[in-house]
Each structure stands twice: as C-alpha cells, then as structure tokens.
Amino acid sequence: MAYELYYWPSIQGRGEFVRLALEAADVPYIDVARQPKGINIMLRLMEDGSMLAPPFAPPFLHADGLWIAQTANILMFLGARHGLAPSGEAGKLWANQLQLTMADFVTEIHDTHHPISSNLYYEEQMPEAKRRTKVFLEERAPKFLGYFERIFSRKGSSGWLAGAAMTYPDLSLFQIVSGLTYAFPNAMGRLLPAYPSVKQLHRQVEEIPRVAAYLSSPRRVPFCEEGIFRHYPELDLT
C-alpha cells in the first residue's frame, strides 16, 4: 500500500523535506491533503484523540501501519527503509545529527520573517523581522553554511554529507540552499561563492534524474510567501 503523507497542501514548508525523500527514493505515496477533500481528512485526523502517535503538527506519515510525525523522525524512518541513509549505527546517528542541525537552521530561517509569533501576520512584526534578518544574514547563515562547508572539506570527503553516496541530509541541504536563494537572492549571491562545496552539493542533487523530474512536475509546490522561505525584498540585502 502506498504511504500517505499529510501536510499543508499549498506550501512546501517542512513537508517538502519529506516529499523530496519520497521522490528521490521512488517510494509510492499519496499527498493526502492535496487530494479532493484531503485537507478535511488531515484536519479530522489531527483532532481525533484516538490516533496512535498523535502529531503536534504536520507533516506526518502513515506507512505500513505506523504513524510518524516530526520531519527528522520521518526522514530517519524513510532513510533506513529506502536506501537513503548510511547502513551502520554511527552513520545513522551522523545522518540524524546533520538533519537536526538543519532543523535548527530551518527554524531560524522561518523566524527571520516571524520573530514574534507565527500567529501574527508578517506585517505585524516587520521592524522585528528586519532586525532579526540582519543578524541572521550577517552571523547565523554564514555560521551554518560554514559548518556544512567544513564537513565537505574533510579529508576523504565523497562530496556527499554522510558516507559515499547521497543520503537524506543531502536532499535537505539542497532544499535549504534552494529556499535561501529564493528568499534572499542578493544576500545569497554574495554569500554562496564562499561555500563552493555546498554550492556543488546543491547542483549534484538537482541533477539527480528523479529529483530533476520531481522539481519540474506539478507535484513540486512553488515557493511562495506563505512558507518557510519567503521573498520579502525589504529583508534581503540591497
């Protein structure tokens, strides 16, 4: 039976990290909330207290009778089952460690436009957003990107983050670089050349046939100003 992915239908958001893994591993799945009336099914499930392993929020996955929520947790599961993770214990822990560091990065990216509350509109927290984004672009983005660059520059690096082949953290780093480039084209135009291996990883992932096919399909929701990566020109460098 096909896996069922539950996520908000109109944004990439955190669900996109899961979609990328499902697509790259060629796993059959239904993007439930994007089917007719699917959003109602998702909302009903979230209100239904009887669910096994109830999620705090989407995304969540229904796979072989298991209900799994939290992006990094879903990816760990998919990675192990579908050839997107290293095989040994040390490699699995390392992949999860990388993914959790990216989860922290993603939260900081989101909070550039919502530093006070996700329940308020961006327009209600613009001065704070400008202040937070300035520090983010000057200090935090370089710190995270520099960290991943250093991993690639270690002796014997394969050009992938974890082991000799592509694993799910590579897909997530691709998504982060894509999203940052959408949100902050000016800042990333100046930043990214300092991280050539990160840039190269982005290109490598983009060229994987299954990923390329997905990105050009209607299954890929476009970036927009409702998700994590938002292009607000007033927040970008000039």
List alpha helices for the chain, DSSP H: 15-24, 38-47, 71-81, 89-113, 126-135, 141-152, 168-183, 185-191, 196-206, 209-215
Residue 77 interacts with its own copies (CB under 8 A)?
yes
Is 104 a binding residue for its own copies by CB under 8 A? The answer is: yes
DSSP 8-state assignment for residue 136:
I
Among candidate residues 29, 168, 148, the one with its CA nearest the CA of residue 85? 168
Closest distance between its own copies and the C-beta of residue 225, in Å?
Answer: 21
Q: Which of 217, 216, 233, 213 has its CA nearest to residue 225?
A: 233
According to the binding rule CB under 8 A, does residue 204 interact with its own copies? no
Residue with Cβ nearer its own copies (131 or 203): 131
Q: How far is the CB of 36 from its own copies (least distance, A)?
A: 29
Q: Does 128 bind its own copies (CB under 8 A)?
A: yes
By CB under 8 A, tell whether 55 contacts its own copies: yes
Nearest approach in angstroms of CB 220 to its own copies is: 25
- Quote the Cα angle for 214-145-185, to 5°: 65
Q: How far apart are CA 140 and CA 217, in angstroms?
A: 33
Residue among 82, 72, 99, 103 at smallest CA distance from 169: 99
Question: SS3 of 237, please?
Answer: coil
Nearer to its own copies, 68 or 221 (CB): 68
Identify the residue among 26, 56, 193, 216 touching its own copies (CB under 8 A).
56
Q: How far is the CB of 211 from its own copies (least distance, A)?
A: 25
How far apart, in whole angstroms, are the C-alpha atoms of residue 120 and residue 91?
A: 40
Determine, following the binding rule CB under 8 A, whether residue 132 of this chain makes contact with its own copies. Answer: yes
Q: How many residues bind its own copies (CB under 8 A)?
A: 46
| From candidates 111, 178, 184, 198, binder to its own copies by CB under 8 A | 111
- The residue assigned the tokens 């009336």 is 37
The answer to whether 142 contacts its own copies (rule: CB under 8 A) is no
Please name the residue that has the structure tokens 């009887």: 50
**What Cα–Cα distance (Å) separates residue 139 from each residue in 74, 142, 195, 197, 206?**
30, 6, 15, 20, 27
Which residues in 150-179 contact its own copies (CB under 8 A)?
150-151, 153-155
Residue 49 interacts with its own copies (CB under 8 A): yes or no? yes
**Site for its own copies, rule CB under 8 A:** 49-50, 52-56, 66, 68-70, 72-73, 76-77, 89-90, 93-94, 96-97, 100-101, 103-104, 107, 111, 115-117, 119-120, 128, 131-132, 135-136, 139-140, 144, 147, 150-151, 153-155
